[in-house]
Structure 1
Amino acid sequence: MTRIVKVETFLVPPRWLFVRIETAGGIVGWGEATCEGRSETVRTAVEQLSEVLIGADALRIEDHWQVMSKGSFYRGGPILASAVSGLDQALWDIAGKHFNTPVHQLLGGHVRDRIRAYGWVGGDEPGEVAESIQAQLDVGLTAVKMNASGRMSLVASVAEIDGVVRRVAAAREVLGEHRDVAVDFHGRFTLANARRVAPLLEPYRPFFLEEPVVPENTHLLREFTRSTTTPVATGERLYSRQEFLPALQAGIAVAQPDLSHAGGITEVRKIAALAEVYDVQLAPHCPLGPLALAACLQVGFATPNYLIQEQSIGIHYNQGAEVLDYVLDKGPLKFVDGHFERLLGPGLGIDIDERAVRDADKRGHAWRGPVWRHADGSFAEW
């Protein structure tokens, strides 16, 4: 009855890719395989991977993960890992529904009753900081994350450096002493710029500094972590335990795997266990949809070293649809005193509005990230 009979994908606004797996017994599992700006490519990858799933037992999750991730001679990368992630989430959703229990119960049971959430507040432009933060406080959140800057020169000017400090100072003024601001360098900084700016931010006590260098320069992370007392976070563009290992060895304090990019629930649980060995906390990247968020929370409720959860309710990327538009009961994903309460429903713990998803897929989307350039016309990191 748990034999897989159908795998479907849905490209839904604003920029998400949902996966639906159905069993012979009529159990339906949902997952999210979104890869921002490349979801159409991931859709093709999901269709290829479905060849190894159709006719198989949905409950053999670990074996499916192994075959999907390693069954081809060429492995890894965001496209394959995102496809595996969405399918893996859907398989865990099926397992929870089959046993009539939340996924976190299958992962060993809950270690906490609620998970703190933070919201994204921009920060590219100084004028938007205070107003954006206040809007997040008004919905009950106690932590926010902001970009440190917009486009950054390879060797930053005095004005650029001072602009970063002014933005973070403005955030601290609004938040006071009992709420937190994380500062995202977003891979826009060279190592030299990051090392110059980090000490200047220490008086404002950032919650963490995120992605100070691009992921292909993980070998430079140790130089940065040694230059600041502020906790350092990275990982949204790392896709496996093996890719996280050098970052952990470099002294990061917060690991940020994305449940829709880093192999789904199966792999992120293993990343969390590896991070625990290095006294590193988990704060998964999730500016995505309701399924990615629910998958994160299921892992979080069963993971001891889970710090906080990013979420995208109300984020500026969500044009044309919102996180809660595709769920039938919005209650489980509502904020309670800046937290998500433990999800109690079976599987991922949310019920997808299938009609809304199918209708949205007819519209589809072709979301792309912006391409930035420096003043001389050369490529700039976004």
Structure 2
Amino acid sequence: MRITGIKTLVVNAEMRNWVFVKVLTDQDGLYGWGEASLNWKTRAVVGAVEDIEPLLIGRDPRDIEQCLRVMNKHSYYRLGIIGATAISGIEHALWDIFGKSVGLPVWRLLGGKVRDKVRVYTHLGLGDMRSVYETFDKGALREKALAVVENGYDALKVVFIPYSHFTADIPSRRHVAILMETLRDAVGDGVEIMVDFHGRPASISAALQFIDELVPYRPMFCEEPVQPGDADAMRIVAERSSCPIATGERLVGIKEFEPLFMSKGAHIVQPDLNHTGGLLEGKRIAAAAEAAFMGVAPHNPNGPLAGVAALHFDVSTPNFVIQEEMSGAVPWYDAVVQTPLHREGSYWSVPTAPGFGVEIDENAAARHPFKPEVIHTLAAVLGDGTIVDW
């Protein structure tokens, strides 16, 4: 079996673009699908896939480890998030091919089943990205949170830490406490709440001040309280916080996670299997996290194929905690992609179809061509004009 080509298919899902990757083989009807979506970097990722394609033509797609070595080592320059996202999408497709070729779901090939269902959570707005990033009013927060719970979820994530700098002023801290109190009162103690800081505090002290406001309302975890890449800063936050701390969505590969493991800089790590190098790299990260007494809650605000890849990972990963998902983000979600993402309450069921068990209607996908995405970062400016982290 040999790889004969790699194609990309861009589908605009209103607030973001999905980048699907199709790896073709010389076996009739045997191909694989993956996803390489990256917000605001669509054309760059598509170009990276095109650049990588010649490295894999003629290779056996089932030799996944070897294909990864080729893509990483023969690119010469170390790959950042764009290259790693392109590789992740291609690697997903290789697993899909492998599973189809042997008639087994991908989770079987990743080590087999370690759980009977996969717990998931979603965001405010059930896929509407404006609701995710622009809900700072307590009335709207309550309404949108109740809508999530009414849809069967028992866990949700919010992003209402204000655009910050090196200090956290008293009105901002009080408003965060009011929002969290409103949220907890609305959903009760039976619903887990995760608060995504989005790396907005520019100092450890500001992050801790906001965390102190949240702790009385028992969040499941506080995510990315400071900008990624400084394991010592994360360690200080984790040590001083009485709330579990999560991070990792912007780290690429196990090398960038290693300082976090060594410093015990978090309680939960969040590799994005769509960005960090694929499923094999994700399994390495998960194994190292388990050795460091950390759980894994994969990041995934991406499209349906990224969700399916995460599902297979979650089924086979012992220290998995909970999965972020964005299914139903657009009304025509199921018209373009057929997936095994079947949710009952706040759990996905375990898929049984060979490979990833997905299929894409390329004609339906063509009705939603690339469009420039909404740039949320334009709002991340303080009153004096200072540009801060989104």
Shift of 1:368: 4.6
Letter in 2 for 1:280: M
**Alpha-carbon distance in 2 for matches of 1:352, 1:124:** 37
Question: Helix, strand or coil for the counterpart of 1:373?
Answer: coil
Distance 1:96 1:358, change over 3 A: farther
Residue of structure 2 in register with 1:289 after alignment: 303
* Preserved CA contact (<8 Å) 1:186 1:212: yes
Residue of structure 2 in register with 1:261 after alignment: 275
**Alpha-carbon distance in 2 for matches of 1:70, 1:208:** 36
- Residue 53 of structure 1 is aligned with which of 34, 51, 56? 56
Residue of structure 1 in register with 2:86 after alignment: 83
Letter in 2 for 1:12: V
Residue of structure 2 in register with 1:3 after alignment: 2
**Is 1:168 aligned to residue 174 of structure 2?**
no
**Alpha-carbon distance in 1 for matches of 2:336, 2:177:** 39
Q: Which shows bigger deviation, 293-302 or 160-169?
A: 160-169
Structure 1 runs (4+) greater than 6 angstroms displaced: none
* 1:184-223 equivalence runs, <5 A: 184-190=196-202, 191-223=204-236
Distance 1:163 1:312, change over 3 A: same
**Alpha-carbon distance in 1 for matches of 2:60, 2:37:** 24
Residue of structure 2 in register with 1:348 after alignment: 356
Aligned-residue sequence identity (percent) comes to 37
Shift of 1:156: 2.0
* 1:55-70 equivalence runs, <5 A: 55-70=58-73
Residue of structure 2 in register with 1:129 after alignment: 141
Cα distance per residue 1:318-352 (max 9 Å; x no partner): 5xx65434223x6x323202100001111112222
Residue of structure 1 in register with 2:37 after alignment: 34
* Preserved CA contact (<8 Å) 1:208 1:232: yes
**Alpha-carbon distance in 2 for matches of 1:118, 1:296:** 13
- Residue 337 of structure 1 is aligned with which of 332, 339, 345? 345
Shift of 1:3: 0.7
Alpha-carbon RMSD across the aligned residues, in angstroms, is: 1.6
* Preserved CA contact (<8 Å) 2:155 2:191: yes
Cα distance per residue 1:104-162 (max 9 Å; x no partner): 00111111111011011234333321111111111111000001323224322211111
Residue of structure 1 in register with 2:128 after alignment: none
Letter in 2 for 1:366: P
Letter in 2 for 1:144: L
Shift of 1:261: 0.4
**Alpha-carbon distance in 2 for matches of 1:36, 1:124:** 23
* Preserved CA contact (<8 Å) 2:107 2:313: yes
Shift of 1:74: 1.3
* Preserved CA contact (<8 Å) 1:9 1:17: yes
Shift of 1:356: 1.9
**Alpha-carbon distance in 2 for matches of 1:256, 1:68:** 24
- Residue 373 of structure 2 is aligned with which of 346, 364, 367? 367
Letter in 2 for 1:100: G
* Preserved CA contact (<8 Å) 2:236 2:265: no
- Residue 315 of structure 2 is aligned with which of 288, 298, 301? 301
Letter in 1 for 2:345: D
* Preserved CA contact (<8 Å) 2:20 2:35: yes
Residue of structure 2 in register with 1:138 after alignment: 150
* Preserved CA contact (<8 Å) 1:36 1:368: no
Shift of 1:64: 0.6
**Alpha-carbon distance in 2 for matches of 1:132, 1:31:** 31
Normalised to the residue count of structure 2, the TM-score between the two structures is 0.92
Normalised to the residue count of structure 1, the TM-score between the two structures is 0.94
Residue of structure 1 in register with 2:127 after alignment: none
**Alpha-carbon distance in 2 for matches of 1:149, 1:241:** 28
**Alpha-carbon distance in 2 for matches of 1:314, 1:153:** 35
- Residue 272 of structure 1 is aligned with which of 278, 286, 300? 286
Q: Which shows bigger deviation, 232-241 or 368-377?
A: 368-377
Gaps of 5+ in 1: none
Shift of 1:171: 1.4
Letter in 2 for 1:206: P
Residue of structure 1 in register with 2:21 after alignment: 19
Residue of structure 2 in register with 1:324 after alignment: 334
Distance 1:359 1:23, change over 3 A: farther
Letter in 2 for 1:327: V
Distance 1:334 1:150, change over 3 A: farther
Residue of structure 2 in register with 1:158 after alignment: 170
Letter in 1 for 2:247: T
Distance 1:139 1:271, change over 3 A: same
Letter in 2 for 1:245: E
Shift of 1:224: 0.6
Question: Helix, strand or coil for the counterpart of 1:365?
Answer: coil
Q: Tell me the number of residue pairs that the alignment of Structure 1 and Structure 2 aligns.
A: 373
Q: Which shows bigger deviation, 268-277 or 245-254?
A: 245-254
Shift of 1:279: 1.3
**Alpha-carbon distance in 1 for matches of 2:67, 2:104:** 21
* Preserved CA contact (<8 Å) 2:174 2:213: no
Shift of 1:357: 2.5
